[in-house]
Amino acid sequence: MDKRVIITIGRSFGSGGHVVGELLATALQIPYYNNELINLAAKRGELDKKIMEKFDEKKSNPFLFEGNYSGNQYAPKGEPMEDVLYKLQSEVIKNIAAKSDAVIVGRCADFVLEEEDGYEPKIEVISVFIDAPIDSRIERVKTYFDFDDKQALKFIKKRDKQRKSYYESHTKRKWADKESYGFFFDSSKMPINDIAREVKNIYDNVKKG
């Protein structure tokens, strides 16, 4: 049986990482998962998706947190909602990888899948991170939101801080560090379409190898 290949995409906010993921999924005709992971996790735990959304990709605070007291056996009771969502999303990610190739954005998917052994067929993880200088990201964020430069910078710093603490608390690796990922791209130096094309070539080679 052919090996399973999962492309995981980490991204700094405003770098265009999710766009790269969408382009890849379309080009490769494989499933794409980003915010859909919240819905799938909520369904698995029988929890309210709207409630879970505010805990996505956030680190729990051991001294001040909202505990979970609902859901089914897959949603641990009494634990911080952030941790409950992480566990549910990790289980969803593993289930996805067991079924088909896919592109998965964020949620520590690179770490979650690298931890797993014994898959049949074997799972190969292509770990990608998309970054860009802050000025480039400010301009990109301004095209999505009605922000001025100051507002965009503040929003980027907030989201980057959340992603950094979330990733590092679960993986013990440095977020946005080249050493933490298999492939690292700067979307200010390489167009989004070219990054997607390059990752597709990597995927094709891994699939053949």
Please write the tens of the pLDDT for every residue from 119-166. 677 899 999 999 999 999 999 999 999 999 999 999 999 999 999 999
pLDDT at residue 190 in the model? 97
Handedness of CA 180, 144, 197, 100 (dihedral sign): positive
- Residue 104 burial (CB < 10 Å; 0-12/13-18/19+)? buried
CA 54 to chain centre: 16
CA atoms of 173 and 129, how far apart (whole Å): 13
Average pLDDT, the chain: 95
Which is more confident, 122 or 77?
A: 77
Average pLDDT over residues 41-47: 98
* The domain over range 4-208 is classified in CATH as 3.30.70.260: no
CA atoms of 84 and 52, how far apart (whole Å): 9
pLDDT at residue 119 in the model? 66
- Of 191, 151, 175, which Cα lies nearest the Cα of 11? 175
In three-state secondary structure terms, 167 is: helix
| Paired strand residues for 5 | 124
Average pLDDT over residues 199-207: 97
Identify the band that residue 2 occupies on the pLDDT scale cut at 50, 70 and 90: confident
- Within 10 Å of residue 35's Cβ, how many Cβ atoms? 11
CA atoms of 191 and 84, how far apart (whole Å): 37
Average pLDDT over residues 60-67: 92
pLDDT at residue 115 in the model? 66
Average pLDDT over residues 87-99: 96
Q: How many angstroms separate the first and last alpha carbons of the chain?
A: 13
CA atoms of 40 and 95, how far apart (whole Å): 11
Identify the band that residue 118 occupies on the pLDDT scale cut at 50, 70 and 90: low
CA atoms of 24 and 30, how far apart (whole Å): 8
